[in-house]
Amino acid sequence: TTTVALFTRDLRVHDNPALSAAARGADHVVPMFVRDRRIGAGFADGRARFLDECLADLDRNLRGLGARLVVREGDPAEEVARLAEEVDAERVHVAADASAFARTREAALAAALGRRALEVHPDVHAVVPPGGVRPQGGGHFSVFGPYHRRWQEVPWRPVLPPPERLSLPRLRVGSVPRVSGPGGETKGRERAASWLDDGVHDYADQHDALAEDGTSRLSPYLHLGCVSALELARRAGDGPGAEAFVRQLAWRDFHLQVLAARPEVAHRDFRPRGDHWREDPESLLAWQQGRTGIPIVDAGMRQLLAEGWMHNRARLITGSFLTKTLYLDWRAGAAHFFAHLLDGDIANNCLNWQWVAGTGTDTRPNRVLNPLRQAERYDPDGDYVRRYVPELAHLPGALVHQPWRLPERERGGYPPPLLDLGEGRARFLNARQGSGGRR
């Protein structure tokens, strides 16, 4: 018998229930990835390249097991059905996913495969998959605290080793990109190992410090499934650092179960607050390019453009600034992040944006972060700003956070603030009160 293991964003051979199931009992396994151009449209170059690196690495790992990755391009349902026909596959295995896009794709696949079976594996992406914990009375959780308490009680499945040996039937194999770089399972596992060895101990104290390398930076690998969240949670160990880290993995699961229950929240407010977001293309552009004149905001936005990643504290500050201080639609912020973040993920991106905008699961939806207070607290010496805003690199200490206090000639050409922070905040609070937005 022959099976097809269809990879989507589970680009790994370790702890991959879909791949393991495909290998179990089959004579031949055909590992496959379909490039769907609809997904990459609008992505920054770095994101596309990271995916190529992941595919190249997956192919290398599959070759080590005796197979190769078949890459085709086009409509996934059509391409998979065609390959299944070519190799006369009995069934196709794929990871379940929560987005509306993934679910439509799944249904189209099942239809295109006809008599060949489609097996969808719910336990690939999350530690506890959507539906693994439910509130009393059913449905899904919409507040993290109670979700997390129940999440901690759920037993985790064992970590799966890579399949022992795969055998590939004779067939035409599409080209796998020949690139190398930080992307892929091999580098992801190295990073995970050194993080769990070293970094995670200090995570509880360090994760909010903007200038430190105090978080795992595993998010791009988690997004594309180069490392398994379940394996990370299982191997994290004990202590405050490990606990705080595993709690963040629970946030990831929490968002996935919200998206699974309410796929429309990728575009629509989870809890509408009657907002009439402003239209202000110039301010939006200044925010995107990191020239709002608020150094801590601009440092975050420039880190995103330079690295395809942004520190979580900076995501909170820049997100609050866009949606509350500027009062611009969270969807515009989410779209910009999604194009540039290597970890850009429908569930985490849209639901974190909604959390920040107060239209999501935050139980204090109208809080506005003050970027200056945030800067004092999380970048007290100004090192983070100086790293990403070179015009201000000559300013010592915390002075870097308020360049407008200096004469213009000492500001290195850095722009003045787009608006008065207090006025922005007042406009937002008025708008929310006017629309009955306070709960």
Binding site for FAD: which residues? 203, 215-219, 245, 343-345
Using the minimum distance from each CB to ligand FAD, give the nearer residue, 69 or 222. Answer: 222
Separation of alpha carbons 12 and 52, rounded Å: 14
b/e map 376-415, b = 16+ CB within 10 Å: eebbeebebbbbbbeebeebeeeebbebeeeeeeebeebe
Separation of alpha carbons 319 and 359, rounded Å: 13
Regarding 353 and contact with ligand FAD (CB under 6 A), the answer is yes
Size of the site for ligand FAD (CB under 6 A): 27
Using the minimum distance from each CB to ligand FAD, give the nearer residue, 93 or 340. Answer: 340
Regarding 255 and contact with ligand FAD (CB under 6 A), the answer is yes
Regarding 331 and contact with ligand FAD (CB under 6 A), the answer is no
Closest to 355 (Cα-Cα) out of 283, 254, 206, 281: 254
Regarding 251 and contact with ligand FAD (CB under 6 A), the answer is yes
**For residue 9, what are the CA distances in angstroms to 18, 411, 421?**
12, 45, 40
Regarding 222 and contact with ligand FAD (CB under 6 A), the answer is yes
Q: Which of residues 46, 344, 371, 424 is near ligand FAD by CB under 6 A?
A: 344
b/e map 65-77, b = 16+ CB within 10 Å: bebbbbbbeebbb
Q: Which of residues 99, 167, 248, 366 is near ligand FAD by CB under 6 A?
A: 248
Q: Which of residues 16, 61, 215, 303 is near ligand FAD by CB under 6 A?
A: 215
Stretch that binds ligand FAD, among 82-90, 97-105, 339-347, 367-375 (CB under 6 A): 339-347
Regarding 142 and contact with ligand FAD (CB under 6 A), the answer is no
Q: Least Å distance between CB 214 and ligand FAD? A: 8
Stretch that binds ligand FAD, among 7-15, 151-159, 162-170, 346-354 (CB under 6 A): 346-354
Regarding 219 and contact with ligand FAD (CB under 6 A), the answer is yes
Angle at the Cα of 190 from the Cα atoms of 36 and 9, rounded to 5 degrees: 20
Separation of alpha carbons 240 and 301, rounded Å: 30
- What are the helix and strand counts (H, E) for the chain? 19, 5
Regarding 216 and contact with ligand FAD (CB under 6 A), the answer is yes
77 close to 108: Cβ distance less than 8 angstroms: yes
Give the amino acid at 403.
P
Q: Which positions from 299 through 328 interact with ligand FAD, judged by CB under 6 A? A: 312, 315-316, 319
Q: Helix 295-307 vs helix 281-289: angle between axes, to the nearest 10 degrees?
A: 70
Q: Which of residues 121, 125, 207, 411 is near ligand FAD by CB under 6 A?
A: 207
Stretch that binds ligand FAD, among 33-41, 77-85, 343-351, 394-402 (CB under 6 A): 343-351
Regarding 329 and contact with ligand FAD (CB under 6 A), the answer is no
b/e map 98-115, b = 16+ CB within 10 Å: bbeebeebbebbbebbee
Separation of alpha carbons 166 and 347, rounded Å: 33
Q: Which of residues 14, 121, 252, 401 is near ligand FAD by CB under 6 A?
A: 252
- Concatenating the DSSP letter of every residue in 235-253 gives HS-SSHHHHHHHHHHHHHH
Using the minimum distance from each CB to ligand FAD, give the nearer residue, 164 or 198. Answer: 198
Q: In 3-state terms, what secondary structure has residue 71?
A: strand
Closest to 419 (Cα-Cα) out of 278, 210, 274: 278
Using the minimum distance from each CB to ligand FAD, give the nearer residue, 65 or 304. Answer: 304
Q: Which of residues 87, 118, 218, 297 is near ligand FAD by CB under 6 A?
A: 218
Q: Least Å distance between CB 365 and ligand FAD? A: 14
Binding positions for ligand FAD, rule: CB under 6 A? 207, 215-219, 222-223, 248-249, 251-252, 255, 312, 315-316, 319, 337, 341, 343-345, 348-349, 352-353, 356
